[in-house]
Amino acid sequence: MTVLEEIIAGVREDLEARERALPLEQLKEQLEFATPALDVMSRLRSNPDLKIIAEVKRSSPSKGALAPIEDPASLAAAYERGGAAIISVLTEMRRFSGSLADLKAVRAAVSVPVLRKDFVVSEYQVWESRAWGADVVLLIVAALDDAQLAALLKLTESLGMTALVEAHTEAEIARAVAAGATLIGVNTRDLKTLDVDRAIFGSLVHAIPRGALAVAESGVRNAEDVADYAATGAELVLVGEALVTGGEPEANVRDFIAAGSAARQQATYESTPASLDGES
Ligand SMILES: O=P(O)(O)OC[C@@H](O)[C@@H](O)c1c[nH]c2ccccc12
């Protein structure tokens, strides 16, 4: 079994228990009272800056415990003050020490979109994401077949949410595009081995169509890494470990945005023909 398969086996067990406690039909009834999800794509397209997706992450399969994060709401509020475009909340319990309660607490504490980061393999989890306040749901291509991916993406959108569709290879990006994804992540960590290779973002970004937004995920250690992702075409960068272990989450998010936005601007300038530069 790969690490991904092992994690998903645990996720399915926990999911069965939740479904027994609250069957889908009852969960759907709760949704009638929920406030609608935020329009994430128009927010993201409203300016050319590099956007940070700041993650609430207590531990990971590769590194073990990262930070206790006793108060996820105040961490998320600090991320928001720093300018984070989206707050990602890991809700997987066994390997990442997250919970749906974290998602709810974060949703109540911030006004920016909130991403539910988990291993979504069933429609129940999509409904559940909305019920607990998510605006964005992570869908991992490697965990789904084409029919599942298309169905989960469609359901996500029909509930007013946006899917962040995560790929790790060119073939997976093609599958994400075929399913209709508009927010496409390249996870530079291989979920089968947990190895990080930041360079794969730059080598795969060409496969993401112009109409979609490109997200670089994982492995950021500092502002320079954010700038590198931005220079190679990332519109958003997802950061976990560096923000939960770095102290000063607000200042760090702000620095990452500044470094990434400067790199994006520079890259745009360099790809603009001199004749379009105007006077200078
Ligand atoms: O802590 P990092 O290296 O900044 O990585 C964050 C994020 O990319 C990582 O948590 C992640 C990316 N895809 C996932 C899928 C499931 C769980 C976790 C993830």
Summarize pLDDT for 37-77 with one digit per residue, the tens: 999 999 999 999 999 999 999 999 999 999 999 999 999 99
Residue 217 appears among annotated catalytic residues: yes
Query: With 60 as the cut, is the pLDDT of residue 27 above it?
Result: yes
pLDDT for res 192: 83
Ligand 1 centroid to Cα of residue 60, in Å, is 8
pLDDT at 146: 98
Catalytic residue among 51, 88, 117, 252: 117
Separation of alpha carbons 113 and 133, rounded Å: 9
Give the pLDDT confidence of 153-184 residue by residue, as tens digits.
999 999 999 999 999 999 999 999 999 999 99
Calculate mean pLDDT across residues 3-8. Answer: 94
Chain segment 143-154, per-residue pLDDT in tens: 999 999 999 999
Residue nearest to atom 8 of ligand 1 (CA): 218
Where are the alpha helices (H) located in the chain, listed in sequence order? 3-21, 24-31, 40-44, 72-82, 100-109, 123-131, 146-158, 170-179, 199-204, 223-231, 241-245, 249-270
Amino acid identity for residue 161 in this structure? M
- Model ipTM? 0.98
For all residues of the chain together, what is the average pLDDT? Answer: 95
Identify the pLDDT of residue 268. Answer: 81
Beta strands in 25-94 (DSSP E): 51-56, 59-60, 64-65, 86-90
Strand ranges in the chain using DSSP code E only, listed in sequence order: 51-56, 59-60, 64-65, 86-90, 114-117, 136-140, 162-167, 183-187, 213-217, 236-239
Lowest mean pLDDT among 6-15, 204-213, 264-273: 264-273
The answer on pLDDT for 279 being more than 80 is no
Query: Is 119's pLDDT higher than 80?
Result: yes
Task: Reply yes or no on whether the pLDDT at 275 is more than 90.
Answer: no
Q: Is the CB of 234 under 6 A from ligand 1?
A: no
Q: What is the pLDDT of residue 278?
A: 57
The first and second tokens of residue 240, run together, are 């976990």
57 catalytic? Reply is yes
Query: So what's the pLDDT on residue 167?
Result: 98
Q: In the chain, what's the furthest Cα-to-Cα distance?
A: 67
> Which position among 51, 55, 92, 252 bears the catalytic label?
55
Q: What is the pTM of this model?
A: 0.96
Amino acid identity at 53: I
The pLDDT-based confidence of 277 (bands split at 50, 70, 90) is: low
Q: By the 8 A CB rule, do 242 and 222 touch?
A: yes
Q: Is 253 helix (H, G, I), strand (E, B) or coil?
A: helix
Encoded tokens for 224: 């320079």
Whether 220 is in the pocket of ligand 1, judged by its Cβ within 6 Å, is: yes
Contact 133, 104 (CB under 8 A): yes
Whether the per-residue pLDDT at 193 is higher than 90: the answer is: no
Pocket test for ligand 1, best of 2, 57, 221 (most atoms within 8 A of CB): 57
User: Residue 129: is its pLDDT beyond 80?
Assistant: yes
- Pair 236, 214: CB distance under 8 Å: yes
Which is it for strands 236-239 and 51-56: parallel, antiparallel or unpaired?
parallel
